[in-house]
Each structure stands twice: as C-alpha cells, then as structure tokens.
Structure 1
Amino acid sequence: MSLDLPREAAGPALAPGRDASATLAGIGLTVLGVFLFSGCNALAKWLVASYPVGETLFVRSLTALLLVAPFITRADLATLRPDRQFRWRPGLHLLRVFCSAIEVGCFYWALVYIPLADVSTIYLAGPIYVTAMSALFLGEQVGWRRWTAVLAGFAGVLVALRPTGNALSPQAVVAVLGSLLYAISLVATRRLRGTPNPVLVASQFAALLLLSAASAAFGWVLPTPGDAVLLALVGAVAMLAYLCVNRGLQLTPASVVAPFQYSSIIWAVALGYVVFGDIPGINIVIGAAIIVGAGLVILFREEKRRRT
C-alpha cells in the first residue's frame, strides 16, 4: 500500500541537540513502522489460510477506514474542490485508488501460495520502478547511473523469480503485477501530493473496501470470535504503521529514513521462518541483495542531486 510522503515541515532551525534527537526519533519510528507492516503481513498470511482473501481485505479495510475517518476535517475535504489551489484531478485519483486496491489484492492473493519473504522481495522493486516511471511520465531527469540502478534492480527481481519453466509460477507473476501497480500508485500519489494525507488514505481504503466487498459476498466464512479480532487487528496495525512511517518522515528527511525501509526484507525472512517455517532460497537472498543495493544507489544519487 502507498501513502503520500509528507513534505518536510518548514520552521525555525533546530538546535544541534534537538536536531539529532529528532533524526534518531524519525529513524526509530520508521523502523517500528516497517516492523508493524511486516507483522501485519505475516498475520494476514496466517489468516488467508483459513479465510478468503476478499473477506480478509474487507475487514481490514473497514477497520482502517473507521480509524482514519475521524482525522478527516472539513478543510481536508475542501481541497477536493476544483477551484482550490490543488486541482481535484478526478481521473488521477481514480487511477491511484484503482491501482492501489488491485495491488493489495495481488499481494494478499500471492501470500496464500508463496512465502512471505518471496512476496516482500518482489515488492521491494516497486520504488525502483517509480524511478523509471518518473522519467517516462513525470518528465523528471534520470541520469545514466540511476538508469543502471533501475536495470540492476529489475535483474534482482529476475534472480529472485528464477524465470525457468520449473520455477516461475502464476502466483509470482501476480506478485510482479502487484509491484508494478504499486509503483503506478506511488507515481500518482506524487502528482497528488497537495491532497491531505487523511483524504488519500481514506479514498484508498474505501476503494479496497468496495473491491473486497464484491468478492467477500460470494465466499464469506463466519470467523470465530478470536479470529474476528485478529482480522480487525490487521487493519488497526496497518493504520498504526502508517502513523509511525509518516511521523518518521516529518521528523527526519526522507533521504535519511528511506534506506531503513528496506529492513522489511529482514523482518519478512525472520517472521516467515519463525511463524511458517519458511527458509528463503539462495535466489531470494541474492535477488533481495541486488534490489536493495540498486535502491540505495538511487536514494544516494537523489540525495546528491538534491544537495547540488
């Protein structure tokens, strides 16, 4: 799932001590948020073994939507008016929520069949795809070094997938499709960064709620009271993770905290092994290393360009 990354808040310069404390707090919140997302995904993988994907997504979306709705103000809704400084762009909003809803469905469906670490590794390439799409659709300048990193990241995905007749599965293809849709939703979010975060998040979960309701109606399994709590917990943990990641980005520049988001692969491997007994293959380890390395190169080049 995606969120609009908040721009760094303007304000008086912090004293060196406070600045260092804010940086550490931002990094800590980012790591905590990534861990919560990983835990949420692990819990979802455990639940989709007993309940349909549509039902799991429906309860998750409903819970998250109920949690985020109270934070939407009239001023937030006013930004959707066409006569405001930031145009509504309904087509772009529809594209964003459509891609976001479908990619979450792809992620959860892939979790039913392949290990958590495998799906997480494939999705790690999403931000790398954003770099290529930014050059093609946003008109941003991307130098040869970053294009090389993009190609290296795609090669890492191929290594992780092992695209041979015996290894490449339909489930892995669905995960790749989901990562591409995730990248499209990020690019759309980048164009809509004038829209308040609560509105973006609420519209995203509302679209997923409608999509999951259509499928959940045909395969609803009555959950036990304990599992009903766990289904709702998936949505609550996801919202808490969003709060942590967003607050971390408000306290610390994105170029500082972004590399720590790659810690998701560590949590995915650890939780996959502890909870499900999954041991990642050597191709997953090598592919993840290539993807993370390519992503870090892009981040460092972006930071250097920003400073220049």
Structure 2
Amino acid sequence: MNWVHWALLSAAFAGITAVLAKAGTKDIAPNLATAIRTTVVLLLAWGIVLVAGKPEWKSLSGRAMVYLILSGVATGLSWLCYFRALHLGEASSVAPVDKLSVVFAIALAALFLGERLAWQHWVGGSLIVVGAAVIATK
C-alpha cells in the first residue's frame, strides 16, 4: 500500500471517530472524553510498537524527540478543542471545519519545511476553506 491508501484509511477512521466521539461526549465533560480517548490511543500505539518488533531506540535523536513531544502537545490541544466543539456542535458541522487543519498543514509545510506548493495545493486548499465556510454557516 502506498501513502494514498494509508491517507484514505486515516480519513475513514477520522470520520468514524467524529461520529463515535460525538455520541461519547453526549453526557460527559469533553475533557474527560478526551482523556479516555487518549488513554486508548496510548495503549493501542504501544501495543502495536511491541507487537511489530523491537523499537529502534538508537535512531531516536534529541531533535526528533523534541519535535515528537511538541507534536504530542499540539495533538492533545487539538483533541481537547475538537471534543469541546463536538460537545457543543453537530459532528456533521464540526468535522468539516476541523479539516481546515489540512490548509494549516499545507501552509506550515511550505513555511517551515520548505515544501514547494503546486497549483493543486492552492486550488484544493481554497476548496477546503470554501467547503468548511459553507458548512459552518448553514
């Protein structure tokens, strides 16, 4: 499988996540829901690492560790905001607006990683912004 297959699976699971998370946050605080979800993700991720074979700890640099820790902080903050939004809004509206993360990722990849943006990035990113705006203003 190439990156497109994995990205489509990620999108499918993200869609499933939105619906299940909305149902799960109905009667509990969003922060508790986020903590429960994070615990499950933590156990699942370490389980996969341990089952897949021995981790390559030697290849983990200090720089990589800093970036991964900062990514974890950003993920945690994103999830807290996402669950709060799901608690307050409809999953069919929250999830598409949350996908504006794609536009942020494109812009940040260009700014900080030096990735070159093609016209497809500009057109696709613009369509995502327009789509999120249309859904958010329904």
Q: TM-score, normalised by structure 2?
A: 0.74
The structural deviation recorded for 1:114 is 0.8
The structural deviation recorded for 1:127 is 2.0
Report the equivalent of 1:130. 105
Letter of the 2:32 counterpart: E
- Structure 1 gap segments, 5+ residues each: 1-6, 10-22, 163-282, 284-308
Q: In structure 2, what is the Cα distance between the partners aligned to 1:54 and 1:90?
A: 26
Asked if 2 retains the 8 angstrom alpha-carbon contact of 1:53 and 1:105, the reply is yes
The one of 101, 106, 118 equivalent to 1:143 is 118
Q: In structure 1, what is the Cα distance between the partners aligned to 2:123 and 2:116?
A: 14
Would you say 1:108 and 2:88 are equivalent positions?
no
Identify if the C-alpha distance between structure 1 residues 39 and 147 changes in structure 2 by more than 3 Å, giving closer, same or farther. Answer: closer
Superposition pairs of residues 176-255 of structure 1, within 5 angstroms? none
* Structure whose residues are more often helix by fraction: 2
Match of 1:75, SS state, is: coil
Q: In structure 2, what is the Cα distance between the partners aligned to 1:74 and 1:114?
A: 42
The structural deviation recorded for 1:40 is 3.3
Would you say 1:78 and 2:58 are equivalent positions?
yes
Would you say 1:45 and 2:22 are equivalent positions?
yes
Q: In structure 1, what is the Cα distance between the partners aligned to 2:99 and 2:55?
A: 35
Asked if 2 retains the 8 angstrom alpha-carbon contact of 1:132 and 1:147, the reply is no
Letter of the 1:109 counterpart: R
Asked if 2 retains the 8 angstrom alpha-carbon contact of 1:135 and 1:142, the reply is yes
The structural deviation recorded for 1:128 is 2.9
- Give aligned-pair identity as a percent: 18
Q: TM-score, normalised by structure 1?
A: 0.37
Structure of larger gyration radius: 1
Q: In structure 1, what is the Cα distance between the partners aligned to 2:120 and 2:23?
A: 41
RMSD: 3.1
Asked if 2 retains the 8 angstrom alpha-carbon contact of 1:79 and 1:88, the reply is no
Higher relative CO (CA 8 A, sep ≥ 6), structure 1 or 2? 1
